[in-house]
Structure 1
Amino acid sequence: MCFLKTTRVRQGFTLVELLVVIAIIGVLVGLLLPAVQAAREAARRMSCSNNFKQLGLAIHNYHSAYNQLPRLQGGTNAIGAINGGTTAPSSNNREELSILVGLMPFLEQQALWEQISNPLQDQNGNIHQPMGGNPQANLSHHQISRYEPWLTEIPSLRCPSDPGAGLPSAGRTNYVACSGDSAYICNHGYADEDGNRTSPNNLAELARASCRGMFQARADSYFRDVLDGLSNTIAMGEIPTDLGDQDKRTHGKADIGGAASGRGTGQGIRGPGEALSCRTFIDPERPQFWASGTNVGDAEQRRGYKWASGRPMYGQMNAILAPNKEICVAKGTSPRANYHGNAMIAPPGSRHQGGCHILMGDGAVKFITDSIEAGDETSSQVYYGGPIAPGSKSPFGLWGALSTAASKETIDAEF
């Protein structure tokens, strides 16, 4: 008799084995995910740095072409006349343009520049003249009409790590000009909105004393003015754009009762300890955000919302507080003060971890940490008639010294 022996073939995993394999895969994914995210952020940070490199090249090419730097808060004003000096200009942008506007031809945005620099009719039938058009043209609180060039999103002006997009912003930017280590009068610079440089308080003299950055509002600037050396002077800084979440870095809080520009009798945000006067409004449970109920300004008056505007909220940074600290606006006593046009403590910042990029005058891009040596943040700023005489070294340490163009300070530390 013959017996056949059969062998039972196993067809698959048991349930326990399958669960173990899934658990192992889950653990491996959990271990790898932070590394993948870190690699992605490193790539975004590199792309952001490359954007800044292009801006540095554009600034140098602009200076080579025109023998000066692009003007901060440049453009057209109400002073002057056409038709042989008999007719006042019918439109202007009140000298509020950022340095980015003049750089457009050097950033491969020639088509956009052609729209800006030639008369353009908007949908309301208004004719916009070269370098501005109808008054304000969506640049400040006196909005008259929609002006498409200012609403254009330009990819090279955006940091890939910043998710901000859409209304109520116009065209966003993450890169702004450095105006120095003082907020006093730097919202006006050397002239008022009508181009007047002598009235009411001799703006040019006041600005010359306090606005000590590589770029000075409503004044021509040159590489030859950077006596501290281009490699030791900040040209531009990175900023995050507002996401509508009361972030203290993108959403200004007002210093109630101060002088809006420093031109009045109040100290505003220029005196001892005044730079920190908004700090009491920070939410103690969420220290990166303002407490509820502290909103100021209209919905579009947020950091990074208008690339074409050179006003402090949109187009400037200063080195009074270290990177990623809070914005503090010098608000006058009027309940409807113009927050985005006022002087302000406007530190740079970013969506990167631990710091932000800055562009040096020689075109080098550096990553500055939040812990950079920033001197005494309770100090008075340098201004005409203040306790720290014009021409003095920056009271804000290495950080302040890097932001000034001609304070004759030696940079002997790594940054």
Structure 2
Amino acid sequence: MTKTNRTTAGFTLVELLVVIAIIGVLVGLLLPAVQAAREAARRMSCSNNFKQIGLGIHNYHSTYNKLPKHGTGPIAVRAIGTNWPQERDFRHERLSAHVGLLPFVEQQALWEQVSNPLIVTQGGTTETYPAWGAIPWNVIAQTNNYTTDWTPCFTDVVTFRCPSDPGYGLPLGGRSNYAVCYGDAMDYMSFGPYTNWARGARADAEYNAAARGCFGLYTQTSFRDILDGLSNTICMGENNTDLGDEHITTSPRNGGNVGNNPLQCAGQIEVSRPTFWRTSPHANNFVETRRGACWAGVTMGWTMCNTILPPNREVCSAGQNTAREGTWTVSSRHQGGAHVLMADGAVKFITDSIEAGNSSAGPVKFGQSGARAPGSQSPYGLWGALGSRASKEVIDKDF
């Protein structure tokens, strides 16, 4: 008998290395696609949350014939226990429009906590809060100093959060990614129709000249006030929450004269890393007052925005922290832009490159003349026109 030579088939070392290399290339191509798909899903969820808020606003308006009041709650509140100082300047209407929206975004249980007395026990200490609770500013500021906190301030409301934003937990409270729109101006953004927080005197003419958006402060508007059309007017805008990384959209810098030049803080940006600051924050720029810190609070950086600088530009305050007027534009963790909620309930994605006029021009303001005189069209192009509710600008471009 003759023997037949049989050859066993197999891979050579070179072939094996080639296969491994091909698999590596495929995995390298697949991972970004997976990440992009996940972000697309998060972005859609973010948009859906905004739509739910828009529906809540319309249901609120159907009930009360007004938009929810930004700057609401008791005008005078007694000190609560021994932990809360008698700061009279802050003892008035420091709750945001988000609080009034709670029953209309399926948060009835949380609304019951806010609108009724609440007993909180932590670490063996019990505190009894009256209806509407403590001032959110003090709750967030003092969270590391005291053992008891007003629970609603630290409750994350899913509807008020964008899944693309990774910010979570302390030192901030119940974060918010959606802010009411003050319009295309900033004057009296922190005082409303008064000269100061203590309401030393009224300043209605000055306030009315600047409060050109869907929402004001301590005042209420309705759909009938939006003469430019609900589909042409921004009602709310998206914003990032602070991660502690000195990002230009979340950690404000002191702009001093920003009321006359919105680009006042631009020189403090790191040129090689244009989404981060080169300078350190002011000593009074407390962590707890940064962007999106608490949905229940009325503070500028927490729950307000305006349409002066385009999306994802720097936040710049006239004061030393987020308690003052400034350029509080919309921002997001999405690529290339941010969501806005139009007054008709539609959610739009506004790109960073939207036509925004002359960013160095001062906003419309009481006592100014020419292009800045009260009632003038927005100096900030299409972007500014979308923020104003009754300036009669013609929207003739896609956005």
**Structure 2 counterpart of 1:235:** 235
The alpha-carbon distance between structure 1 residues 131 and 193, as it changes in their structure 2 partners (threshold 3 A), is farther
Which of 255, 258, 264 aligns to 1:277? It is 264
Q: CA deviation at 1:66?
A: 1.6
What is the 5 A alignment of 1:257-272?
258=256, 268-271=257-260
| Aligned partners of 1:318 and 1:346 also within 8 Å | yes
User: Quick one: which amino acid aligns to residue 232 of structure 1?
Assistant: N
The alpha-carbon distance between structure 1 residues 79 and 114, as it changes in their structure 2 partners (threshold 3 A), is closer
1:156 counterpart SS class = helix
**Structure 2 counterpart of 1:4:** 3
Q: CA deviation at 1:293?
A: 2.4
**Structure 2 counterpart of 1:389:** 373
Which of 9, 30, 34 aligns to 1:32? It is 30
User: Quick one: which amino acid aligns to residue 7 of structure 2?
Assistant: R
| Aligned partners of 1:191 and 1:204 also within 8 Å | yes
Once the two structures are superposed, residues 341-365 of structure 1 have per-residue CA deviations (whole angstroms, 9 ceiling, x without a partner) of: 1112101010000100000000000
Which of 136, 157, 162 aligns to 2:160? It is 157
The alpha-carbon distance between structure 1 residues 169 and 192, as it changes in their structure 2 partners (threshold 3 A), is farther
Q: CA deviation at 1:295?
A: 4.6
| Aligned partners of 1:238 and 1:358 also within 8 Å | yes
User: Quick one: which amino acid aligns to residue 20 of structure 1?
Assistant: V
**Structure 2 counterpart of 1:377:** 359
Once the two structures are superposed, residues 241-282 of structure 1 have per-residue CA deviations (whole angstroms, 9 ceiling, x without a partner) of: 111111011000002xx4xxxxxxxxx4222xx211111111
Once the two structures are superposed, residues 155-210 of structure 1 have per-residue CA deviations (whole angstroms, 9 ceiling, x without a partner) of: 221111111112111011110000011111111112477774xx33x232221110
C-alpha separation in 2, matches of 1:182 and 1:254: 18
Which of 281, 301, 313 aligns to 1:294? It is 281
Once the two structures are superposed, residues 36-56 of structure 1 have per-residue CA deviations (whole angstroms, 9 ceiling, x without a partner) of: 222221111111110100000
C-alpha separation in 2, matches of 1:186 and 1:91: 16
C-alpha separation in 2, matches of 1:350 and 1:194: 30
1:341 counterpart SS class = coil
Q: CA deviation at 1:91?
A: 12
| Aligned partners of 2:94 and 2:136 also within 8 Å | no
Q: CA deviation at 1:3?
A: 2.2
User: Quick one: which amino acid aligns to residue 15 of structure 2?
Assistant: E
The alpha-carbon distance between structure 1 residues 301 and 402, as it changes in their structure 2 partners (threshold 3 A), is same
User: Quick one: which amino acid aligns to residue 101 of structure 2?
Assistant: L
| Aligned partners of 2:248 and 2:276 also within 8 Å | yes
**Structure 2 counterpart of 1:132:** 133
2:180 counterpart SS class = strand
Which of 353, 362, 365 aligns to 2:344? It is 362
The alpha-carbon distance between structure 1 residues 275 and 135, as it changes in their structure 2 partners (threshold 3 A), is closer
Residue identity over aligned pairs, in percent, reads: 49
C-alpha separation in 1, matches of 2:279 and 2:235: 35
1:44 counterpart SS class = helix
What is the 5 A alignment of 1:100-119?
100-119=98-117
Q: Scaled by the length of structure 1, what TM-score is found?
A: 0.86
User: Quick one: which amino acid aligns to residue 345 of structure 1?
Assistant: T
1:20 counterpart SS class = helix
Once the two structures are superposed, residues 219-257 of structure 1 have per-residue CA deviations (whole angstroms, 9 ceiling, x without a partner) of: 0111111111111100000011111111011000002xx
**Structure 2 counterpart of 1:205:** 205
The alpha-carbon distance between structure 1 residues 133 and 166, as it changes in their structure 2 partners (threshold 3 A), is closer
C-alpha separation in 2, matches of 1:295 and 1:222: 38
**Structure 2 counterpart of 1:265:** none
1:122 counterpart SS class = strand
1:54 counterpart SS class = helix
Once the two structures are superposed, residues 319-358 of structure 1 have per-residue CA deviations (whole angstroms, 9 ceiling, x without a partner) of: 1101101011102xxxxx5x12111210101000010000
1:394 counterpart SS class = coil
C-alpha separation in 2, matches of 1:218 and 1:140: 22
Does residue 406 (structure 1) correspond to residue 394 (structure 2)? The answer is no
C-alpha separation in 1, matches of 2:7 and 2:350: 68
C-alpha separation in 2, matches of 1:295 and 1:237: 26
Once the two structures are superposed, residues 102-138 of structure 1 have per-residue CA deviations (whole angstroms, 9 ceiling, x without a partner) of: 1111111111110000011234544322223468552
The alpha-carbon distance between structure 1 residues 136 and 42, as it changes in their structure 2 partners (threshold 3 A), is closer
C-alpha separation in 1, matches of 2:213 and 2:140: 23
User: Quick one: which amino acid aligns to residue 76 of structure 1?
Assistant: P
C-alpha separation in 1, matches of 2:161 and 2:396: 32
**Structure 2 counterpart of 1:56:** 54
The alpha-carbon distance between structure 1 residues 230 and 55, as it changes in their structure 2 partners (threshold 3 A), is same
C-alpha separation in 2, matches of 1:213 and 1:382: 12
The alpha-carbon distance between structure 1 residues 135 and 278, as it changes in their structure 2 partners (threshold 3 A), is closer
C-alpha separation in 2, matches of 1:194 and 1:209: 19
C-alpha separation in 2, matches of 1:178 and 1:184: 14
C-alpha separation in 1, matches of 2:314 and 2:93: 27
What is the 5 A alignment of 1:150-189?
150-189=153-192
**Structure 1 counterpart of 2:76:** 78
The alpha-carbon distance between structure 1 residues 93 and 396, as it changes in their structure 2 partners (threshold 3 A), is same
Q: CA deviation at 1:298?
A: 1.0
**Structure 2 counterpart of 1:324:** 312
User: Quick one: which amino acid aligns to residue 70 of structure 2?
Assistant: L
| Aligned partners of 2:119 and 2:126 also within 8 Å | yes
**Structure 2 counterpart of 1:334:** none
The alpha-carbon distance between structure 1 residues 172 and 249, as it changes in their structure 2 partners (threshold 3 A), is same
Q: CA deviation at 1:93?
A: 5.2
Q: Which runs of 5+ in 2 are unaligned?
A: 79-87
